[in-house]
Amino acid sequence: MIVLSGTIGAGKTSLTKMIAEHLDSQAFYESVDDNEILPLFYKDPKKYGFLLQMYFLNKRLGEIKNASAHATDVLDRSIFEDPLLFRLNADLGRATTTEAEIHESLVQNMMEELPSVPQKKNPDLLICVQVSFDTMLERIKKRGRSYEQIDEDPSLYDYYKSLNERYAEWFEKYDKSPKLSIDGDKFNFVESHEAEVAVLAVIDEKLKELAIK
């Protein structure tokens, strides 16, 4: 099981699709465009933040169960990122500390109880796409989801800035599985075929090293 991680606009979904097609495996995508709660959360984070995290937790647990049944399936978001995202919301006053603590405890307890082969509860490889703050903002603006735009909600600037900083810290501390960092500024695999080929070659080398492929 290969899992992608990275901040908003990093290119996780695009790389998930590329890897799955490259490995002839199945991709599991984060529920965003069909997520009715997400736009409500952006309008009123305090009211809908906890509900949104419960929604994602339920979806991710189902994806882990399904992906653990096949070799080299690819998930476009790690469940271990969710506490990071919700803790940030609490620190910025967009959720309560109690809600963040309950959510983090739920993630830990549900992962412990997940009925699966123990080593499959964690990914075989986590790939983190890391981008600069400027690149993050550029891509958020480019993909045009109205509820994500700073022009619509200036408070999102501080949220995005803190999120990008915390992702770098989170990746450094992550120890649930082998991990690989992709420089999303250097390799714009979304728009460049050459960059896509280069990134897939790096991933192939890592999979070979881990005896996954």
Q: Which two tokens stand for residue 29?
A: 């995508």
Confidence of residue 70 (pLDDT cuts 50, 70, 90): low
> Is 116 marked as binding a ligand?
no
| DSSP one-letter code for 156 | H
CA distances from 26 to 49, 71, 73, 126, 199 (A): 30, 9, 5, 16, 19
| DSSP one-letter code for 130 | E
> Is 12 marked as binding a ligand?
yes
> Does the annotation mark 76 as catalytic?
yes
> Is 10 marked as binding a ligand?
yes
> Is 102 marked as binding a ligand?
no
Return the higher-pLDDT residue of 69 and 86: 86
Q: Which two tokens stand for residue 43?
A: 């309008």
How long, in residues, is the chain? 213
Q: 24, 33, 34, 76: which one is catalytic?
A: 76
Which domains occur in the chain, in start order?
2-209 (3.40.50.300)
CA distances from 201 to 66, 76, 152, 154 (A): 27, 19, 39, 39
Alpha helices in 26-96 (DSSP H): 37-43, 45-67, 82-91
For 87-99, give the secondary structure using H, E and C.
Answer: HHHHHCCCCCHHH
Read off the pLDDT of each residue in 53-65 and give the average, rounded to a whole number.
83
SS3 75: strand
Read off the pLDDT of each residue in 139-155 and give the average, rounded to a whole number.
88
Pair 99, 51: CB distance under 8 Å: no
The confidence score (pLDDT) of residue 118 equals: 45
The confidence score (pLDDT) of residue 191 equals: 92
Distance CA 62, CA 90 (A): 26
b/e string for 176-189 if b means 16 or more Cβ within 10 A? ebbbbbbebeebbb
129: enclosing H helix or E strand: strand 125-130
> Is 9 marked as binding a ligand?
yes
> Is 14 marked as binding a ligand?
yes
pLDDT tens per residue across span 179-194: 999 999 999 999 999 9
141: enclosing H helix or E strand: helix 133-143
